[in-house]
Amino acid sequence: MLETLSARLQAIAARLRGQARLTDADLDAALREVRLALLEADVHFRVVKTFVARIRERAIGSAVLDGVRPGHQVVKLVHEELVDILGGERHALRLGPGPAVVLLVGLQGSGKTTSSAKLAVRLRRDGHRPLLVAADVYRPAAVEQLVRLGQQVGIEVVTGPTGTPPAAIADAGLAAARGGGADVVIVDTAGRQHMDQPMMAELEGLVSALQPAESLLVLDAMTGQEAVRVAETFHATLPITGLILTKMDGDARGGAALSIRTVTGVPIAYLGTGEGMDALEAFHPDRLAQRILGMGDIVTLVERAQEGMDREEAERAAQRILESRFSLEDFRSQLQQVKRMGPIGQLLEMVPGAAGLAGAAQAAVDDGELRRVGAIIDSMTPTERREPHLIKAARRRRIATGSGTSVAHVNRLLRQFEEMQKLVRQLGSGGSRPGQAPRLPGR
Ligand code: GDP
Ligand code: MG
């Protein structure tokens, strides 16, 4: 998520932290770079301007530059201001006594139908009993899509014959909820390619008929500033209560997300991070800011771990990622465990300082690769697994032959493992001793 922006801000932060003194000119130079990085990530220029001005003002006003570790202080200011533009507090849905209606609106292709089903899964995990309503009545394929997703996740979907007015289907959904004990009714609506009057009129009608507890606007984060404009236009007509930003797993232009709250005043509620049904994250401004600055997001990481496996196993896995003890033997079992937690690239972005490894690690857990890694490690002696530095050319050839792979594969595995170890050592040096988990940010 936001890899390019994160990498640039993390480089600036690392340099700032390394400087014992910080002059006015140093600060200006650093802030100029921050400004450029944000603009290139498609953060709205007005937001960038205020952001940089506030950091400068606070740095100078609080005599940060003359204090101890001025670079750390400036990074802290950047973090605080990032949290601020992202909305400060988490926006939790206000569902009230059931059945509460949650209306999902947005342009075609933004991810409404997918997000409806993901949201149902998430709310069920939070202890609710959700029900889905297919109110995108114009395209039978749209209804079919939601029905299929509902079957996949085991959540009831209420539909009507093609041509039924959306409000009538939603009413049927409410009746079904009352009858069946569901407390949240998630309504998936029709979108158009562009904003137009008939669509807005239909949505206004739905809002006044249903009085939704939440009206969530679904936005495709990959469309950059266009998403900001769409949000402004929708919000001018409809009482939007929250945003779902989808496709945050793509890097391109996701920076628009950073400005959307400040520009529209509407809080971000969730982030879509993939096509799978569990790829919807509750949005926490502080956690995303930490992730962007490479301070990690251990809380989300552990939550994800708990969702993917049993609690004890989850804690062990999270601990292993953070610990400096690391052999080739648990490299493999860890790849398998972590794989169940979701895309490993996304997981590594949450580990302090590890975002840069996300791409390589993702490649390492693709199915074919995982099998190959298993075969290679099986062909090693126990000593070799514990002390891979012993594995020189002759041993590499033996292992390649034994595992039915090639020396290039063995080399790659050893290189990946070495990088992993290097990362773990780096983590250990971020204020804690090797062998210890690094200091966890915040909270
Ligand atoms: P709708 O027209 O607004 O209902 O959009 P859909 O829910 O049908 O989604 C359009 C496409 O975007 C589908 O192929 C989804 O799988 C994909 N999609 C939705 N959310 C995400 C996301 O968070 N990440 C990725 N990578 N794809 C997504
Ligand atoms: Mg749809």
3-state DSSP of 106-138: CCCCCCHHHHHHHHHHHHHHCCCCEEEEEECCC
| Strand duo 280-282 + 268-272: pairing | antiparallel
**Nearest Cα to Cα of residue 48 among 36, 59, 56, 58:** 36
Residue type (1 letter), 329: E
Residue 398 CA to ligand 1 centre (angstroms): 47
- Tell whether ligand 1 has an atom less than 6 A from the beta carbon of residue 116: no
Order of all β-strands in the sheet with 268-272: 157-158, 130-135, 184-189, 100-105, 214-220, 242-246, 268-272, 280-282
Between vectors from CA 103 to CA 101 and to CA 105, what angle results, nearest 5°?
180
Taking the C-alpha atoms of residue 13 and residue 74, their distance in angstroms, rounded to an integer, is 8
Which 3 state secondary structure label does DSSP give 349? helix
The pLDDT score that the predictor gives to residue 157 is 97
105, 222, 246: residue to mutate for ligand 1 pocket, most atoms within 8 A of CB: 246
Find out whether the beta carbon of 246 lies less than 6 Å from any atom of ligand 1: yes
> Could you give the CA distance from residue 110 to residue 213 in angstroms, rounded to a whole number?
22
Amino acid at 138: Y
Ligand 2 midpoint to CA 240 (Å) = 18
pLDDT at residue 352 in the model: 61
Residue ranges per structural domain of the chain: 3-85, 100-295, 302-428
> For atom 16 of ligand 1, which residue has the closest CA?
275
Tell me the backbone φ, ψ of residue 7, rounded to 5 degrees: -60, -45
**CATH top class, domain 100-295:** alpha beta
- Token code pair at residue 309: 């496996």
Q: Which pLDDT does position 288 carry in this prediction?
A: 85
Closest CA to 198 of 227, 166, 242: 166
How far apart CA 100 and CA 209 sit, in angstroms, is 13
3-85 against 100-295: fold identical: no
Residue nearest to atom 28 of ligand 1 (CA): 275
Give the pLDDT of residue 365: 59
Domain formed by 3-85, architecture: Up-down Bundle (1.20)
Distance from the alpha carbon of residue 295 to the mean position of ligand 1, in angstroms = 29
Do the beta carbons of residue 183 and residue 131 sit within 8 Å? no
The protein residue with its alpha carbon nearest to ligand 1, atom 19, reads 111
Ligand 1 pocket, 254 CB below 6 A? Answer: no
pLDDT of residue 435: 38
Report the nearest atom of ligand 1 relative to the CA of 274: 24
Per-residue confidence (pLDDT) for residue 44, from 0 to 100:
87
What pLDDT is stored for residue 156 in this prediction?
96
| pLDDT value of residue 97 | 81
Nearest CA to ligand 1 atom 9: 111
From the CA of 108, give the closest atom in ligand 1: 2
Asked if the peptide bond before residue 99 counts as cis, ω within 30 degrees of 0, the response is yes
**106 CA to centre of ligand 1 in angstroms:** 12
> Does ligand 1 lie within 6 Å of residue 126's CB atom?
no
- Residue 340 is predicted with a pLDDT of 60
Specify the length of the chain in residues.
Answer: 443
108 CA distance to ligand 2 middle (Å): 7
pLDDT value of position 436? 40
State the pLDDT at residue 8: 86
pLDDT for the residue numbered 76? 84
| Those residues with Cβ within 8 angstroms of residue 185's Cβ, 6 or more apart along the chain or in another chain | 99, 100, 101, 102, 130, 131, 133, 170, 173, 174, 177
Give pLDDT, residue 19.
82
pLDDT (tens place) for every residue of the chain, 443 residues total: 777 888 888 888 888 888 888 888 989 999 999 999 888 888 888 899 999 999 999 888 777 777 777 888 888 888 889 999 999 989 999 998 879 999 999 999 999 999 999 999 999 998 999 999 999 888 888 899 999 999 999 999 999 888 889 999 999 999 999 999 899 999 999 888 777 888 888 899 999 999 999 999 999 988 888 899 999 999 999 999 999 999 988 766 677 778 899 889 999 999 999 999 999 999 999 888 887 887 666 566 656 665 655 456 545 655 665 655 556 766 676 666 656 666 666 666 666 666 666 666 666 556 667 778 888 988 999 888 878 888 999 999 999 999 999 999 999 888 878 876 676 666 544 433 333 443 433 33
pLDDT at 302: 59
Q: Give the type of residue at 411.
A: N
DSSP letter at 441 equals P
H/E stretch holding 282 = strand 280-282
- CA of 133 from ligand 2 middle (Å) equals 12
Ligand 1 atom with the smallest distance to the CA of 218 is 3
- Of 406, 425, 409, 417, whose CA–CA distance to 384 is shortest? 417
- Domain at 302-428, CATH class: mainly alpha
The three-state secondary structure class of 217 is strand
Which pLDDT belongs to residue 432? 38
CA of residue 23 to ligand 1 center, whole Å: 47
Atom of ligand 1 minimally distant from the CA of 116: 7
